[in-house]
Structure 1
Amino acid sequence: MLNIMEVHETNQMIEQEKLDVRTITMGINLMDCARADVDETCEAIYGKIVRYAKDLVATGESIERDFGIPIVNKRITVTPIALVGAACCTTTGDFVKIAHALDRAAKTVGVDLIGGYSALVSKSMTPAEELLIRSLPQALSETDIVCSSVNVGSTKTGIDMNAVAMLGHIIKEIAESTADNDSYGCVKFVAFCNAPDDNPFMAGGFHGVTEGDAVVNVGVSGPGVVSRALDAAEGKDFEFLCETIKRTAFKITRVGQLVAQEASKRLGVPFGIIDLSLAPTPAVGDSVGEVLEKMGLAQVGGPGTTAALAMLNDQVKKGGIMASSYVGGLSGAFIPVSEDKNMIDAAESGCLTIEKLEAMTCVCSVGLDMIAIPGDTPASTISGIIADESAIGMVNQKTTAVRIIPVIGKTVGEMANFGGLMGYAPIMPVNQSDCSAFVNRGGRIPAPIHSFKN
């Protein structure tokens, strides 16, 4: 339990330093909803989600009132829909029906987002998985709060380049289908390598097949808290800097642990994991980029940025695992360009480039996130970026992801506005060199030699 000193510190972090619990996410297994008929499957999916999650939002709000801890989002993840719909979906339209059922159920219970309109194709695609992927432009443009992910690679299996090549075109189609809203549909889609089964964050969250029937996962946030703590570390050595970050991460995680345990008890659903990820917002003072700059960088993206991010990520994890026995999800530091004020500024000035962001993803917890690029970027270039990022994850045995938005009708120097927590982003330039001959070879990039550890 929190002692009185921790309560005082927590109040200060909430009131002055923008501490919040970013999300309570309920994961729900939908495998028992599979039927031979797609309409019956949709009915079963809707019924189970509403039955399990009917009290999720009210519970989150009651915890906020009782403990004074802001809980920004209440979300749901479900079993990858490519698996659930495999028995009944014979067309892309069938899968779109399930997307609408997810959207209706999520709106009925009042959550912010629902994730799991997903496929796991790290080695190859089944016919159902290919259909789901091809349905994405229609599904994401016709629904409001459904999020999707496709896992295209893993350290154990390699990278499915057929899926990667297809996704370049699919992402362009999603962008075009939502062109009237700065291609917002792409905000709801992410391509993964080594996707975790228990990620509470969107757009990549889904309820993995290794999970139980239902679970509560919590994602904490606190870049503002870390940033404020680093004021005391100005001019100090790296040991002091690391200790400051580690101790702060411990306090942040303790808050998440308290909320997770209370939500689990009130909902009667097992507690799963705490995701330690520092998740920024566009608000001033709630920025991972600001944390990196307080370490001594003139601007994020300059020399030293990758080293600073590596240290931040490591110390956040070291502090967090002392506060909770069940740490999972992604856990580390997010670097979404559009959701981080200092990242936005650095991208606008040209100090932060896509190539530098790629280097940073080698040491952070996710990948290329919320990056706006010109709408006329070739599909093969998008596929090449996904392949590069997947290779980093595959070789380094870590999760990497790509959430990239080719904003139709806009070019370098213009701004895309996604609203709310999704923020806004300058359109960043991409390398113009053609990689289509590489992307379109077909087949699979094999797993690295160090994957064979059985």
Structure 2
Amino acid sequence: MRFDPKEIGEILEMLLFRELDIRAVTLSVNTLPAIRHRVSDTISALEELLEPYLKKLRPAVEKVASRLGVRIVTVRLAVSPVSIMLEPIGDAKSAVELAYFLDDLAGKYGVDMVGGFSAFVHAGVSRGDRALMEGLAEALNGTSRLAGFLNVASTMTGINLDAVRKSADIILSLKPHAAARFAVTANLPEDVPFMPGAYHGLGLPDAVINIAVSGPGVVEAVVRNLPEADARTLHDAIKRAAFKITRLGELVGREVSKELGVPFGAVDLSVAPSPKVGDSVAAILEAMGLPRVGSPGSVFALALFVDAVKKGGAMAVSNIGGLSGAFIPVSEDAVMAQAAAEGAVTLDTLKVMAAVCNTGLDMIGIPGDASADVVAAIIADVMALAVYLDKPLGVRLVPVPGGKPGDYYDLGGLYGKVAVMEISRYSKIPLMSRGGTAPPGVERLKKG
């Protein structure tokens, strides 16, 4: 599909006046060839495998950004799930050692984040999974760039309640900055460019570039220019803006791929916010006509927005990947964080909104003394939505020491100020102690 002069002019206006940028260029690399029986040998093999890519990654991204006049916010690396690499080693100490190595290597080459410190445990826990889970809290608490997840549920297998409970324990043992780099997920695709869900999937080539776009400010400006438009007209305008945003993402991805000499993978259509003013998904929903995000009508507004983004983005790119919906991370969206602190957005509201967006409960502050039962139950609720709606969802909770509902904790950077929310009047939920695996629902039967 060719880029005509008028379209280029419109994108230039977005870049200059509407804060349009590319959220992330994520290089995804197959690191399974580096598996060895001793962690020291694995680290040596990883270094030999990754360094040729990393030496070229940031220079290639900066060259493309300069040539196109586009701001690229972060440069990221995704590796194969580290739990697989730990299978022949099988101890938590080695997991932590691998974590520190990956974090240091990312820092050495100017990579902002590295994802893949992760395990898929939706149907059970292997030796490598167990080692990663036991070392996960220490690894994330001791690093600054490392990100990871535990995939504890899937439409095909159901929900591993033991893994849900273990995830709750891990969350409550994480420092706030570490918790911002950890998610509990279901049905996670293998080409996610966003952290902490990024990893190199088993079906991907040896290396591939995936792109995460941004652009809430562009969409908000479009919506505010149509104060009297009906729903269909509004939907069409958002769709057209999403088309232009994701076209830019594909252009950047293809250019970076060419510079690196690796295949271009996919563009995640998700419109991601940031804490800066004018870069908010919640502000888009309010511009559509909500008195406050979280009020009645919020689910309808979000559904209209997400559908328009997906339809516009799908026409713009050759390959769609990742989560491809609307990101509503509470702390990373200044308007959403304020609404949460005011009580306009509640945990129950966000659960309902998760039914029509692709992220689940994202970047929510919780009291540091929350009970593991309650945290596990919150995770289980979202996993149930993911399984029964057959979609990828996640939970990213940030425990704030001494935090009370309405308090803020400043994480800084793209993470913003996390608002501590009221999560439950109950502290004991015996259901969460039953353990076992909840079987898959009827969606599994529809798949044959």
- Supply the AA of the counterpart residue of 2:20: L
Q: Which residue of 2 aligns with 1:103?
A: 103
| C-alpha displacement of 1:107 | 1.3
SS of 1:199's equivalent in the other structure is coil
Q: Deviations over 1:277-332 (max 9, x none)?
A: 11001111110000000111001000000111011111100000101120110111
SS of 1:204's equivalent in the other structure is coil
SS of 1:369's equivalent in the other structure is strand
User: 1:32-431, aligned counterparts within 5 Å?
Assistant: 32-89=33-90, 91-174=91-174, 178=175, 183-431=176-424
**1:12 counterpart = 2:13:** yes
Q: Deviations over 1:386-434 (max 9, x none)?
A: 1000110110011110000111122222211100010002211111224
Q: 1: CA distance between counterparts of 2:338 and 2:37?
A: 52
- Supply the AA of the counterpart residue of 2:119: A
| C-alpha displacement of 1:134 | 1.5
SS of 1:337's equivalent in the other structure is coil
Q: 1: CA distance between counterparts of 2:156 and 2:226?
A: 41
Q: 1: CA distance between counterparts of 2:8 and 2:356?
A: 33
Q: 2: CA distance between counterparts of 1:392 and 1:423?
A: 27
SS of 1:218's equivalent in the other structure is strand
| C-alpha displacement of 1:232 | 2.4
TM-score by length of 2: 0.98
- Supply the AA of the counterpart residue of 1:236: A
- Supply the AA of the counterpart residue of 1:113: M
Q: 2: CA distance between counterparts of 1:346 and 1:141?
A: 29
SS of 1:169's equivalent in the other structure is helix
Partners of 2:341 and 2:405 within 8 A in 1: no
Q: 2: CA distance between counterparts of 1:160 and 1:416?
A: 31
- Supply the AA of the counterpart residue of 1:44: A
Q: 2: CA distance between counterparts of 1:325 and 1:144?
A: 34
| C-alpha displacement of 1:344 | 1.2
Q: 1: CA distance between counterparts of 2:428 and 2:214?
A: 37
Partners of 2:86 and 2:131 within 8 A in 1: no
Q: 2: CA distance between counterparts of 1:284 and 1:38?
A: 45
Q: 1: CA distance between counterparts of 2:89 and 2:40?
A: 9
Q: Deviations over 1:363-391 (max 9, x none)?
A: 00111000001111001111111100011
Q: How many residues align?
A: 446
Q: 2: CA distance between counterparts of 1:239 and 1:414?
A: 39
Q: CA RMSD in A?
A: 1.0
Q: 1: CA distance between counterparts of 2:251 and 2:218?
A: 18
Q: 2: CA distance between counterparts of 1:150 and 1:26?
A: 21
Q: 1: CA distance between counterparts of 2:13 and 2:294?
A: 31
- Supply the AA of the counterpart residue of 1:128: G
Q: Deviations over 1:211-245 (max 9, x none)?
A: 11100000111111000011222111111001001
Q: 1: CA distance between counterparts of 2:428 and 2:210?
A: 39
- Supply the AA of the counterpart residue of 2:346: T
Q: Deviations over 1:117-136 (max 9, x none)?
A: 00001111112202211211
Where structure 1 has 5 or more consecutive residues not aligned to the other structure, the ranges are none
SS of 2:117's equivalent in the other structure is strand
Q: Which residue of 2 aligns with 1:440?
A: 433
TM-score by length of 1: 0.97
Q: 1: CA distance between counterparts of 2:224 and 2:442?
A: 44
| C-alpha displacement of 1:54 | 1.5
Q: 1: CA distance between counterparts of 2:443 and 2:192?
A: 25
Q: 2: CA distance between counterparts of 1:173 and 1:231?
A: 43
Partners of 1:373 and 1:430 within 8 A in 2: yes
Q: Deviations over 1:79-117 (max 9, x none)?
A: 00000111123x211111110111122112211000000
Q: 1: CA distance between counterparts of 2:180 and 2:239?
A: 31
SS of 1:442's equivalent in the other structure is coil
